[in-house]
Chain A
Amino acid sequence: MSETQNEKQLWGREGFRDDPYIEAESLEVAGDAPDVILPLAAWLGLDDEVRRTSNRRIGVSVAPGEDIGPLLEKLDTIPLIALQFPAFNDGRSYSKAELLKGRHGFSGELRAVGDVLIDQVVFMLRAGFDTLQVTNPVALERLNARDLHDTPGYYQPGRGSAQANGTFSWRRTPAA
């Protein structure tokens, strides 16, 4: 983990972790980096054969206004999808996360990038994100202290939760 708090850091349910990926506009720009995240258009522009036979992992980054439709039939070959939050209050990527993880069974890494603040961390995890790329100092500090601003129960199904015992069908408790 880096000492400076303003750097991007990658966090998942188990805590902070190293990020093997770099973000690049194209494979050419990425140089020798082993794992790369490309913008959606660049990713879609890759020849499927090139992508599959590449000896590096090539993830894709999707802006809130972009359609995930073209990715759906290739999901089992995608190692990582980064959904962007240009601002914390642009909530489109939550619905996409739900669709990717819940509906379409995406089993790669689903990552939230952008304006990731502490108050949205639980929402992101419950919507299906595996990792969060964090720069906000308060978020980093609180994640470090594992203070997620969670509630003891939830009123709707979501990932990382279990059916709450003896109560209404829509209620959940955080998974142990």
Chain B
Amino acid sequence: MVLKIGKIEIPKWAMLAFVAVLIMTAIYIPFASGDPDGLEKTLEEEGVPEPEEVWNAPFHFGGSFLSDFAGVLLGMILCFVVAYIFYVTPKKKA
């Protein structure tokens, strides 16, 4: 089975893998740690202040399960689409 969206063909295994990763991440979201990561902890321990933002990132997610889930879903779709479009176009031309 292949899902066709315009020139893009997505095989069944890829769709299943996408959904499986999304479900596993959604299950883990309530248990995710809000503690600083390794770099943030190092900076925190050394008293390095957070740098000022140089631009306003367009997407802001977090604070609730639904917001995090939406963030993961959107990010996954964007990553998948960017990787796909970028390479499917020259392959199709070839």
A and B are interacting partners: no
Mark B residues whose CB is within 8 Å of A. none
Mark A residues whose CB is within 8 Å of B. none
